[in-house]
Amino acid sequence: MTGSDTPASFRLGYVPGVTPAKWIRTWQDRLPEVPLHLHPLSPTEAAEAVRAREVDAALLRLPIDRTDLHAIPLYTENTVVVLPKDHPLTDATKITAADLADLLVLHPLDDSLDWTAPPGQPAKERPESTADAIQLVAAGVGLLIVPQSLARLHHRKDLTFRPLADAPVSQVALSWREDAGTELTEQFIGIVRGRTLNSTRGLTPPAPAPAAAKAKKPAATPARNQKRTAAPTSRGRKPRRGR
């Protein structure tokens, strides 16, 4: 990657709970001369940030509006119920939707789970964000259903979480614009997909250093150019003179 067409850096957006550290390390190993800048994004604005070219790509949760965007799923997350540590449901190893039927379950506006109908009883108003909903759970107002990574991100000593059976799962994906096929975007796609450095879509490996030229042996002197020497005579004998 050389020349004026090479971008000076790569801008990567990510939503809460997603940890791109392992991919960043690979990027730094492969492209140490190209800075990778991280941009935290809220779940509700992530797709639009990619569409508006505020970032070159983003790690976000599906589903999203895919207008003008590509998205490749990377992995899925377990879904859990966040509840106070002294709640009766903490005795269960796994919670079901039936267990929540009569309980108030908060449904924040930035919820990333693709619900047809969330379980439990809805609150009169939806919290603005998952962080706000966590505060309400801690205050004893209700329970919250989130991807497990968000439960860990918003960990509190007075709260815990349990797996929720038969719930939608969260899919983390990499998204970028359909018309943003830059070389750096292709490099990051290759990294998250596990392509090796020598892959056809990976970085072109540096050309190996030319092997040291082998020292040439001096050409043998043609026999006709060699100076002939007289054959050695026997010791003590002189060449016979002609009579």
- Higher-pLDDT residue of 231, 122: 122
**Confidence grade of residue 167 (pLDDT, cut at 50, 70, 90):** very high
69 with 176: CB under 8 angstroms? yes
- Residue identified by tokens 């050695």 is 232
Q: What is the pLDDT of residue 180?
A: 80
Distances (CA, A) of 99 to 103, 105, 112, 121, 133: 8, 11, 22, 11, 20
Q: Average pLDDT, stretch 71-86? A: 96
**How many residues are recorded in the chain?**
243
If phi > 0 it is left, if psi is from -120 to 50 it is alpha, else beta; for residue 137 that is alpha
Tokens of 63: 């589903």
Q: Is the pLDDT of residue 203 over 90?
A: no
The predicted model scores a pTM of 0.76
- Residue identified by tokens 């990574």 is 149
Least confident of 10-19, 139-148, 192-201, 234-243: 234-243
58 with 30: CB under 8 angstroms? no
7 with 53: CB under 8 angstroms? no
12 in helix, strand or coil? strand
Burial class (CB in 10 A: 0-12, 13-18, 19+), 174: buried
Q: What is the pLDDT of residue 241?
A: 52
Q: Average pLDDT, stretch 49-71? A: 95
Of the candidates 175, 197, 185, the one whose C-alpha atom is nearest the C-alpha of residue 26 is 197
Q: Average pLDDT, stretch 171-183? A: 92
Q: What is the pLDDT of residue 1?
A: 46
Report the alpha-carbon distance of residue 17 to residue 6 in Å, rounded. Answer: 31
Residues 6 or more apart in contact with residue 199 via CB below 8 angstroms: 190
Of the candidates 63, 65, 54, the one whose C-alpha atom is nearest the C-alpha of residue 12 is 54
Report the alpha-carbon distance of residue 74 to residue 2 in Å, rounded. Answer: 30
Burial class (CB in 10 A: 0-12, 13-18, 19+), 108: buried
Q: Is the pLDDT of residue 195 over 80?
A: yes
Of the candidates 168, 109, 106, the one whose C-alpha atom is nearest the C-alpha of residue 143 is 106
Of the candidates 18, 63, 13, the one whose C-alpha atom is nearest the C-alpha of residue 180 is 13
Least confident of 7-11, 55-59, 76-80, 196-200: 196-200
Q: Is the pLDDT of residue 89 over 90?
A: yes
Q: Average pLDDT, stretch 34-41? A: 97
